[in-house]
Structure 1
Amino acid sequence: MNKISVLFVLMLMSKSMFSQEQNKDQFDYQKVLDYCIDKSLHTVSSFNDNDKFPRYIETDATHWESDKVENWISGFWPGILWYSFEASNNLALKQSAALYTQKQQVVMDKPIRSHDLGFMLYCSYGNGYRLTKNSAYKTLLLSAADSLATLYNPTVGTILSWPSKRKNNNWPHHTIIDNMMNLELLFWAAKNGGAKNLYNIAVKHAETTMKHHIRTDNTTYHVVFYNDKNGDFIKGKTHQGYTDDSLWARGQAWGIYGFTMCYRETGKVEFMETAIKLADAYIKNLPNDLIPYWDFNDPSIPNTPRDASAAAVVASALLELSSLNTDALISEKYKGIAIKMLQSLSSDMYLSKDKNNAFLLHSTGNKPKNREVDVSIIYADYYYIEALLLLKKISLKG
């Protein structure tokens, strides 16, 4: 064999080895989506808690503990079913999604003063309407948006959180970072026949949150208190984080996701810039496997619980952030990090597999109150399958 032939063979071998290495590092999102679909079908057949909804699974248990339809988590299970149907076109999943979505209608049958109507109804009815165009879903969503808007204080510029606490605990107007997620319902309604002012409420809420919830190091308060008479900032506190000034992982995740969504809906560059600042502050504090501790400032680290739910929320947000950003380098940066997060969540450490009926393990709900600590949680599964579907759509486009 002459030198040119040898060189040609070596080049082919090198190319083959490089290709194999690339394939080894690629993330098989379809395989994990299929896993989620199978898990959803299994829960459909095994969950029989009347009109309640799956919420969490204790560490050593296999089946879901449930909660009532009025709880803020009720939309995630029907939302998972809609996503599972979207990923599979399985009509049994579509039927179950419609059934659990219909069960939520009672939420709007009585006066509602919940800041979480977006979580509760947009995750379920919103996905249902997107996939079926059922006019009844649209009607209920528009009504839900109007109900959510009644909690808006124009003097403060935000939607009130936890109305009962204001009455029972003498709290002034207060807003949690989680409320950024509920703005999507208002944006949707303003585009689909609802009052145009719903758009303005959502924008002002995001602007006020951007001004007062974000600290100088680009981390977020969980709760901000305002003077409800003149709108002045009073103080920032926590409810689920380690301390008032600590970096509660899921709170930061809500902020990253919420401001990314607000940029998508408005095109306002300041929302994109805020999402990036929050994302970078979150990312730089992550451990090697990219799954956060429940609070980055817990002094017990590394001997403290992780929060896979925060990781799933951020993975979904970063994928959308990457698809919205026109700077190719920034786009690839966040897409790459999101894929690595999903790879970690899809590892033996975090997939539940045959341990229980959930998709994921190791989420933390409310550590300070010792509620749902190091368990499987329904909203972790919701944002996980959402991120997988989003990655599939981005990959097929590219």
Structure 2
Amino acid sequence: MRSLPRFFTYLMPLLLLGGFAPSCTPKIPSAQASDSAATGFKVDQQLAYCAAQARKTVALTPDYTKLPRRIGAGKNQWEYVDREDWTSGFWPGTLWYLFENQPTDFWKGKADTFTRNLAPVLDHKTVDHDLGFMFYSSYGNGYRLTQNPAYKQVLLRAADSLATLFNPRVGTILSWPRMVKQMNWPHNTIMDNMINLELLFWASKNGGRKEFYDMAVSHARVTSQHHFRPDGTSYHVAVYDDKTGQFIKGVTHQGYSDNSMWARGQAWAIYGFTMCYRESKEPEFLDRARKSADVFIQRLPEDQVPYWDFDAPDIPKAPRDASAAAIVASALLELSTLMPDQAVAQRYRRQAENMLASLSTAQYQARDQGPAFLLHSTGHKPNGSEIDASINYADYYYLEALLRLQKLQRGKPL
């Protein structure tokens, strides 16, 4: 029998005493019950660390058309990608988060320059679902912080492009058009696609087509119905008949096996359904976020950072995935504000704090080993790529989680 992480031993009384008190207003778990300072974790210090590391990357980046993506295991220099890469929005998004924490002309100017570089992506036909990752992380954060109308227009264009992949017969967005013939997946939807729905939700409220909201809700609902096993773990890919909408099978692409729990895929589920509940208030989505989170938390190793796949056969020697921990920490902080049961809310916030505290140790921070924030992420293990590496989206969600925790500590809404 797998033993529970040690923090459950002192949280159990809270869980037993917790009651259910429905509310439509997001709540901030009390600082008294969930104060990360009690563990010696100082969020402001970690934000300062991120700023210092990012300045190294700014100094090393050759020009604004090249975006840092990864630092391989044992290396100390970024490998760069162009704006067509699915991760291209994370570096400008990181710069916007740094500007949010330190609103200086330096961070604003760098964020704006790298953000504007992405716009030409929308000048050609949409080839996959990643527009939310690319544009909401960059232009979305930029518009949120500056209200620049030029950013808004690019976001609306991105939403229009993303919507072209929606299949009303299936009720979801096609993730990988290239896989239709390559893998004989007539209509494929990957769990990662949940994150892109935030772009559609935003656009539906900010001058875009109102049906974007319905598309996002439909995608989340169909995903909730077919992407999960009875125990709450998720498939990476759901395959559907593109003409009848019938669910064909659940498979993996980046996980260990079709029946395993790929860590980052489960992380996308937790984050995505939390966001969908925030935007729609559909109880089904809150329930799915909770179930996805609970099985993830229950199976974490002692240091709260998952192996790349929870069912990898070589655990405990399997590579970790710090990116999955960062994504889940950020998601759990938001989920804690949406829970009507305050005992459960406190449990999720404490879990997020524990994950951030672990990620902020010498074990996981890059520090003098390179200009990234974090070490030990895994991108695509079956493909042999980005194994035990620093990766830009790990840094992005780590910084986002730190900013969310800072806001909660100050009693501010997310």
How does the TM-score come out when normalised to structure 1? 0.93
Q: State the match for 2:243 in structure 1.
A: 229
Separation (CA, whole Å) in 2 of partners of 1:303 and 1:309: 18
Higher relative contact order (CA 8 A, sep 6+): 2
Q: Within the alignment, does 1:370 sit opposite 2:384 as a pair?
A: yes
- Correspondences of 1:139-158 after superposition (within 5 Å): 139-158=153-172
The verdict on how the C-alpha distance between 1:377 and 1:242 changes in structure 2, with shifts beyond 3 A counting, is same
| CA contact 1:309–1:363 (8 Å) conserved in 2 | yes
| CA contact 1:224–1:236 (8 Å) conserved in 2 | yes
Q: State the match for 2:342 in structure 1.
A: 328
Separation (CA, whole Å) in 2 of partners of 1:369 and 1:58: 15
Q: Which has the higher helix share?
A: 1
Displacement of 1:196 after TM fit?
0.5
Displacement of 1:208 after TM fit?
0.1
Q: State the match for 2:106 in structure 1.
A: 92
**224, 246, 250: which one pairs with 2:264?**
250
Q: State the match for 1:122 in structure 2.
A: 136
Q: Within the alignment, does 1:194 sit opposite 2:215 as a pair?
A: no
**46, 56, 77: which one pairs with 1:32?**
46
| CA contact 1:78–1:100 (8 Å) conserved in 2 | yes
SS of the aligned residue for 2:367 comes to coil
The verdict on how the C-alpha distance between 1:23 and 1:368 changes in structure 2, with shifts beyond 3 A counting, is closer
Separation (CA, whole Å) in 1 of partners of 2:347 and 2:248: 37
Separation (CA, whole Å) in 1 of partners of 2:191 and 2:293: 15
Separation (CA, whole Å) in 1 of partners of 2:183 and 2:197: 26
| CA contact 2:43–2:406 (8 Å) conserved in 1 | yes
Separation (CA, whole Å) in 2 of partners of 1:233 and 1:112: 24
Q: Deviations over 1:138-188 (max 9, x none)?
A: 001011101101100001010001111214443210100000000000000
Displacement of 1:114 after TM fit?
2.2
Displacement of 1:52 after TM fit?
1.8
The one-letter code matched in structure 2 to 1:346 is S
Separation (CA, whole Å) in 2 of partners of 1:171 and 1:304: 30
The one-letter code matched in structure 2 to 1:160 is L
SS of the aligned residue for 1:74 comes to coil
- Correspondences of 1:292-371 after superposition (within 5 Å): 292-371=306-385
Q: Within the alignment, does 1:133 sit opposite 2:147 as a pair?
A: yes
Q: State the match for 2:175 in structure 1.
A: 161
| CA contact 1:78–1:101 (8 Å) conserved in 2 | yes
**75, 78, 81: which one pairs with 1:61?**
75
The one-letter code matched in structure 2 to 1:334 is Y
Separation (CA, whole Å) in 2 of partners of 1:234 and 1:251: 19
Separation (CA, whole Å) in 2 of partners of 1:217 and 1:23: 34
SS of the aligned residue for 1:209 comes to helix
Separation (CA, whole Å) in 2 of partners of 1:137 and 1:358: 27
For these two proteins, the number of residue pairs brought into alignment is 378
The verdict on how the C-alpha distance between 1:227 and 1:31 changes in structure 2, with shifts beyond 3 A counting, is same
| CA contact 2:64–2:113 (8 Å) conserved in 1 | no
Sequence identity, in percent? 56
| CA contact 1:113–1:147 (8 Å) conserved in 2 | no
The verdict on how the C-alpha distance between 1:220 and 1:125 changes in structure 2, with shifts beyond 3 A counting, is same
Displacement of 1:24 after TM fit?
5.3
The verdict on how the C-alpha distance between 1:23 and 1:78 changes in structure 2, with shifts beyond 3 A counting, is closer
| CA contact 1:259–1:271 (8 Å) conserved in 2 | yes
Separation (CA, whole Å) in 2 of partners of 1:32 and 1:169: 43
The verdict on how the C-alpha distance between 1:23 and 1:169 changes in structure 2, with shifts beyond 3 A counting, is closer
When structure 1 is superposed on structure 2, of 239-248 and 62-71 the one drifting more is 62-71
Q: Within the alignment, does 1:277 sit opposite 2:309 as a pair?
A: no
Displacement of 1:49 after TM fit?
4.8
| CA contact 1:172–1:228 (8 Å) conserved in 2 | yes
> Runs ≥4 in structure 1, deviation > 4 angstroms?
21-24
Q: State the match for 2:411 in structure 1.
A: 397
Separation (CA, whole Å) in 2 of partners of 1:23 and 1:110: 49
The verdict on how the C-alpha distance between 1:65 and 1:136 changes in structure 2, with shifts beyond 3 A counting, is same
Q: State the match for 2:219 in structure 1.
A: 205
The verdict on how the C-alpha distance between 1:35 and 1:254 changes in structure 2, with shifts beyond 3 A counting, is same
Separation (CA, whole Å) in 2 of partners of 1:22 and 1:137: 36
| CA contact 2:185–2:240 (8 Å) conserved in 1 | no
**229, 250, 274: which one pairs with 1:215?**
229
**76, 81, 89: which one pairs with 2:90?**
76
Q: State the match for 1:15 in structure 2.
A: none
SS of the aligned residue for 1:56 comes to strand
How does the TM-score come out when normalised to structure 2? 0.90
